[in-house]
Structure 1
């Protein structure tokens, strides 16, 4: 009986004498009953306790909310009392997988260096490079890749890249470059290289030269920067496709770079230009609290246009949070803008699919009627770009939405505000949805996913997944599928997996990341060197497109490396990554910059705590 003692039950003193045999049988049956009860209780207890433990781990509020209500305690008081089930978390490097990612980076970089060194873009199938303008390039791919080399410890590759920057990088190009892309890729890359190279002055000098050429783009009546900049003439230029407009993402995704450059150079001009943009946007926000994708660059007002978290809007929301983080959680202006925006997103754009109840983000498209009335059409469409948002919500929940700092990994009951809990749950759900969109023939996600709603007219067609589909992906032989079906080496899902792993310690996110890496290796790798986009993620064998975006080395492979590297490589409490995955250090606002932001003439509310 495994050492367990069973005690015989004694008959009551007032019991009448009866048949001795029956009394013995009764006594033995009671003994057997006690043993059987104990045995089955033991058998049932183990899975029951495990089930309770798992339930508490997945959703501790089931228990804590009940206890809080019963005991009448605050969340903070309850958090001190409730024991936390600790699960082993291993943040050490997975050396095999980390090194596989390093070899993939070398496969991409060495091919580019061999065929197209210095060119802005690389075409791995034709073994050619191209530039963004006829006047020449400015080394987009080189500068976008340098900090990845430094993080990976690729000294030889880095040495050659630095030599190119020192001897051949030239911004004197009489042509227009996209302001936003140049800031996030080239300026951001130079600033990150400056930091991780041990403050090599070469990179800071280049960064100041580039920023001074970009600053004239801000010379508009509204003080919003124009979409393009002529680097040689130092003149802003409109986007010929949208001559009256600039996008929310373009104007609100320059701030991390310009503010950090101001601190390094001790020149407040860059900070002031970037900060003013945010106040213009704050004063122009519409009642629903969301940023439509376009603004009028002349008067600084939002125009009637689509509301979404995808292209032309995505990094606006990303930088609201990251500006708050960049200056050590002190600028309440950005925290409040971020929390208000997340309330609006949940109220307006977050939806659930019909069958598997996947969480996704929709789009609101305005429609003008003949009588002048405006209605909004809800479109169940989510860009792959939106897959950054799950990880961003987790990061926001544990910083802007936290009641204590730092929070536990994963956060414990009582450490997050109500909004923080909501954002955490939505973030986890969105990451699962983004992984669901990798359920394709190649295991890679499409550029755009549409989610099933009753009115889509598809019915129960077995060729479509039950919850989402790629619009127009199933074409006739010889026809090209729509852009929706492409995978262009985007990083957004692995970006969220990186943040999710660091903030939860759950090994599942590493497994998902490895699955994506293996799919990239299988379907996008060009054997002669480099990686190519694929035309249809739901087609085997996949057809390759002759282009490797710069963010493959800057973001996709960097995030994959960071997922499998030791967590000390880039601690989240020390760095904030710009939207091109260039890490910039978190800093305290210098005194003269505090004076600058507080005396901003557009400011009618406090900005600092």
Structure 2
């Protein structure tokens, strides 16, 4: 449901707009959305993880029959809302708005989303709290829903601000050696008496590297006291929270670039950060602040999943936003370094790009796989960072989580009644 929405529905809607309103794209988008709409018919409106497009019915995830991912149900809104705007059919809007309303009613006390929701009760499950997989784009779309409708839906600005406050309070940490800013995860553990405690784990997925750019974008929209802000914004143009988020965003982007300090110049799928109780020895061959868990595998073993680079775009996405909001050439230089590493280690001579299974190994071993986000996001953000700011300007477009641009619009009056 999630992947089809962000990749296919989002792609069709972008193509419709960018083609000058070629009706074929909109007709296909409506057909696809209509096949997915019945999947929202659950007790609390959360769509199930999978949808059979031919039968027009939802299917539970057999691995997690009682649950849906927080990111998956809360990362459909930009696409379905824009489809309602284009067609005048409020059904699409109502379905995804109900999801957000139910989530808001069931938020956990700390204000963050755990990675699973129970689709039968509407409540968050006692599960990991993190900014990586199954949670990441929940936070991204809180902000982008506010931006999408020209900043009039204060509910999403407030939910976003509350979430960023909770993240700063609970998940943002600094490494011991050089003070790198990174994000942790909260893992629930049940004691003998059944009580729940939360263990802080210094682990950051590459997926989290979207957050640096997202914080900058939030600081200059939800966190701005004047509109538009300067490039780069002056401190007095941002609220106190906006100034904090701008600073954290810049620090996280620097950390994500530091995780490219590997043999290939590419960052791993997962980085662990060193804390006082760390049992990992301080190997002089590895950065002093972070490491790839299990990287010292035996020669006859495959490297751990953590060590892979699967052509992910998140750091480049943040570099693009940072460049657009500051004009600082260092972000272009950093993006070029990553692009050069991708060309050197991931390009396949006969065409296309491949994932590599260990970023700290040269020559690198390839996996015969190129995810669709390589074209949709990684190369698009690289293209955009070296393009003029008039190409998809950030005050006219919001990019969905698969980097498909959707125009910012005003909510029609009949949608508010």
Q: What's the TM-score, normalizing by structure 2? A: 0.99
Deviations 1:312-370 (A, max 9, x none): 00000000000000000000010000000000000000000010100000000000011
Partner of 2:170: 348
1:285 to 82, 104, 107: 107
SS at match of 1:273: helix
Aligned pairs (5 A) from 1:333-344 = 333-344=155-166
In structure 2, what is the Cα distance between the partners aligned to 1:242 and 1:326? 32
1:546 equivalent among 340, 345, 368: 368
Give the root-mean-square deviation of aligned CA atoms. Answer: 0.6
User: Partner residue of 1:233?
Assistant: 55
Matches within 5 A, 1:297-376: 297-376=119-198
Which structure has the higher relative contact order (CA within 8 Å, separation 6+)? 1
2:223 pairs, out of 401, 406, 417, with 401
Please state how far the C-alpha of 1:474 moved relative to its aligned partner: 2.0
d(CA) in 2 for partners of 1:456, 1:312:
26
Are residues 1:492 and 2:314 paired?
A: yes
Work out which of the residue numbers 178, 181, 193 in structure 1 matches 2:15. Answer: 193
Write the distance in 1 (CA, Å) between the matches of 2:231 and 2:387: 17
- What is the CA-CA distance between 1:372 and the residue it aligns to? 1.0
User: Structure 1 stretches of 5 or more lacking a match?
Assistant: 1-178, 596-609
Mapped contact 2:235–2:243 kept (Cα < 8 A): no
Q: 1:182: Cα distance to partner?
A: 0.3
Q: Indicate which of 319, 322, 328 corresponds to 1:506.
A: 328
- Three-state SS of the structure 2 residue aligned to 1:282 is helix
TM-score, with length taken from structure 1: 0.68
Q: Name the residue aligned to 1:21.
A: none
| Aligned partner of residue 390 in structure 2, secondary structure | helix
In structure 1, how many angstroms separate the alpha carbons of the residues matched to 2:4 and 2:121? 24
Listed one character per residue, the Cα deviations across residues 394-424 of structure 1 (whole Å, up to 9, x for unaligned) are: 0000000000000000111310000000000
Deviation at 1:374, TM superposition (A): 1.2
Pairing 1:122-201 to 2, within 5 Å after superposition: 179-201=1-23
Query: 1:464 maps to which residue?
Result: 286
SS in 1 for 2:235: coil
- Please say if 1:419 is aligned against 2:234: no
1:215 aligns with one of 29, 37, 45: 37
Equivalences for 1:524-563 in 2 at 5 Å? 524-563=346-385
Distance 1:225 1:360 in 2: 32
- Equivalent of 1:443 in 246, 252, 265: 265
Match runs of 1:6-21 below 5 Å: none
Deviations along 1:526-579, whole A, 9 cap, x unmatched? 000000000000000000000010000000000000000111011000000000
Instruction: Name the SS for the 2:114 alignment partner.
Output: coil
Tell me if 1:260 matches 2:82: yes
- Quote the Cα distance in structure 1 between the aligned partners of 2:325 and 2:183: 22
Rounded Cα–Cα distance in structure 2 between residues aligned with 1:460 and 1:508: 30
2:114–2:129 contact (8 Å) kept in structure 1: yes
Matched residues in 1 for 2:234 and 2:128: separation?
37
CA apart distance, 1:476 = 1.5
Aligned match of 1:603: none
Matched, 1:482 2:285: no
Q: Which whole-Å deviations, capped at 9, do the CAs of 1:446-480 have from their partners, x for residues lacking one?
A: 00000001111123322331000000122111210
Distance 1:373 1:589 in 2: 46
The structure whose residues are more often helix, as a share, is: 1
Paired positions, count = 417
